[in-house]
């Protein structure tokens, strides 16, 4: 099969196995060039196939020599359909980990369900006995509640009033105003049910009840704060409410884990081109300006650089936290000089000057890169077998 990108709005419906393998290998190679760090030894990553979860898995495996068990929701290839990028990423990760002698196993299915939690616990009992780090890095548009069967959908909306600001159509380069109506109370509750902390808590309780959390276990989940430009649709919007809930859950879990000298943490990460952030209105335009400014200032970081810094110099190095107890690896994004310049560009940017004022071209190539496209050394005109085993 010859595989080309098919972009529909903010997703790409095809993925390239060799390109995804290249992207994973690039992350692994980057970690191998850093000094090894003293980190966890047996890690469970929930949401391990793309974005921050995949980078967490790579950083801890190749940086700290950890055995990793990954949980994700991806689709293998079937008939004329390619697999999803996360499937190919995980296949490539497994191969590289095993080649280097590291344990790697993955479970593909709905992490919100009791069945997948039980399957994960069985895998830990079989192979690892206990885990000493649980990374919770899910990003999902929906969740079926495992106890009530209720179907929740998350929305990305402001709260309290209509929000109008600039946004970009990444493919056409058109910058226009977008007006987003405020969420209803029900939509706020649904978004919190999907992206808040309830499922994280269910995971930790299930793992604890099964006796598979090691003494001194740590668990961490990721949040975002970002600049004022995006606050109405992010931090002060529905997703922000969910993140507040996630952050509150960290406090409850931290207390719960004290009994086994464990702890729960929140890391505030930098805005990054991922499949999830591409879906948020306004954010892709902000990211394309942010990347430009951070690259010019030499302080830009990719997913793997962020996750390596988090684990090697943060969580396992006694990192300082903010007043809310969160680890801040968004410090460079939030630097006053960076934000001042992004805001100045934000005020000027329009369809005509987008290419020169922003890194929209880099945004586009990173977006396609998420699906394995655009890598030097991969011949996209060659017939490839889309099947890959985990």
Q: Which residues are catalytic?
A: 234
Angle at 237 between CA 278 and CA 170, to 5 degrees: 20
Judged by CB under 6 A, the stretch of 135-143, 203-211, 334-342, 357-365 that binds ligand NAD is 135-143
Nearer to ligand NAD, 54 or 257 (CB): 54
Nearer to ligand NAD, 224 or 367 (CB): 224
- Three-state DSSP class for residue 46: strand
Smallest gap, in angstroms, from Cβ of residue 49 to ligand NAD? 4
Residue 213 binding ligand NAD, by CB under 6 A: no
Judged by CB under 6 A, the stretch of 1-9, 42-50, 311-319, 347-355 that binds ligand NAD is 42-50
CA distance 356 to 306: 27
Listing DSSP states for 121-182 in one string gives HHHIIIIIS-EEEEEE----SEEE-TTT--EEE-----SSS-EEEEEEETTTTEEEEEEEPP
Residue 51 binding ligand NAD, by CB under 6 A: yes
Residue 97 binding ligand NAD, by CB under 6 A: no
Residue 223 host element (H or E): strand 213-223
Smallest gap, in angstroms, from Cβ of residue 304 to ligand NAD? 12
User: Cα 309 from chain centroid?
Assistant: 15
In the bound complex, which residue of the shown chain has the CB atom lying closest to ligand NAD?
A: 51
Contacts of ligand NAD in 308-347 (CB under 6 A): none
8 A C-beta contact, residue 299 and residue 332? yes
Residue 120 binding ligand NAD, by CB under 6 A: no
Contacts of ligand NAD in 159-178 (CB under 6 A): none
Nearer to ligand NAD, 17 or 53 (CB): 53
The sign of the CA dihedral 20, 95, 28, 109 is positive
Which residue in the set 82, 165, 269, 339 belongs to the binding site for ligand NAD (CB under 6 A)?
269
Smallest gap, in angstroms, from Cβ of residue 39 to ligand NAD? 19
The sign of the CA dihedral 317, 322, 324, 326 is negative
Nearer to ligand NAD, 36 or 332 (CB): 332
Per-residue string for binding with ligand NAD, 220-249, x by CB under 6 A? Answer: --xxx-------------------------
Terminal CA-CA length for the chain: 20
Which residue in the set 52, 291, 371, 373 belongs to the binding site for ligand NAD (CB under 6 A)?
52
Residue 217 binding ligand NAD, by CB under 6 A: no
The sign of the CA dihedral 231, 232, 234, 240 is positive
Nearer to ligand NAD, 116 or 257 (CB): 116
CA distance 39 to 42: 10
Could you tell me the two tokens for 230?
A: 């995006």
Binding site residues, ligand NAD, CB under 6 A:
47-53, 71-74, 86, 110-112, 137-140, 222-224, 269, 271-272, 274-277
């Amino acid at each position: 099969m010859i595989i080309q990108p098919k972009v529909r709005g903010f997703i790409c419906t095809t993925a390239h196995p060799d390109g995804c393998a290249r992207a994973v290998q690039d992350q692994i190679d980057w970690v191998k060039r850093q000094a090894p760090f003293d980190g966890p030894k047996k890690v469970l990553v929930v949401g391990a196939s793309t974005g921050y979860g995949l980078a967490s898995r790579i950083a801890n495996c190749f940086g700290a020599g950890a055995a990793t068990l990954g949980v994700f929701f991806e689709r293998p290839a079937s008939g004329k359909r390619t697999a999803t990028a996360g499937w190919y990423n995980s296949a490539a990760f497994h191969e590289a980990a095993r080649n280097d002698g590291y344990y790697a196993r993955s479970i593909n299915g709905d992490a919100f369900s009791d069945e997948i939690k039980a399957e994960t616990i069985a895998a830990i009992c079989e192979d690892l006995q206990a885990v000493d780090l649980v990374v919770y890095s899910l990003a999902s548009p929906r969740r079926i509640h495992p106890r009530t069967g209720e179907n929740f959908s998350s929305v990305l909306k402001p709260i309290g009033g209509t929000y109008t600001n600039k946004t970009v159509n990444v493919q056409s380069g058109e910058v226009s105003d977008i007006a987003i109506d405020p969420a209803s109370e029900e939509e706020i509750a649904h978004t919190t049910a999907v992206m808040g902390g309830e499922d994280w808590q269910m995971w930790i309780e299930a793992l604890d009840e099964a006796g598979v959390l090691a003494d001194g276990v740590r668990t961490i989940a990721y949040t975002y704060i970002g600049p004022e430009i995006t606050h109405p649709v992010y931090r002060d919007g529905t997703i922000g409410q969910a993140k507040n809930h996630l952050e509150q859950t960290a406090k409850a879990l931290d207390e719960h884990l004290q009994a086994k000298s464990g702890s729960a943490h929140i890391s505030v990460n930098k805005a990054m081109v991922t499949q999830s952030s591409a879906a948020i209105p306004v954010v892709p335009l902000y990211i394309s300006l942010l990347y430009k400014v951070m690259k010019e200032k030499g302080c830009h970081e990719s997913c793997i650089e962020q996750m390596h810094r988090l684990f090697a110099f943060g969580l396992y190095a006694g990192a300082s936290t903010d007043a809310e107890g969160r680890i801040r690896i968004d410090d460079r994004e939030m630097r006053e000089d960076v934000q001042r310049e992004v805001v100045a560009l934000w005020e000027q940017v329009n369809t005509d000057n987008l290419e020169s004022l922003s890194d929209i071209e880099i945004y586009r190539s990173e977006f396609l890169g998420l699906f394995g496209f655009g890598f030097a050394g991969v011949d996209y005109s060659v017939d490839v077998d889309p099947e890959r085993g985990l």
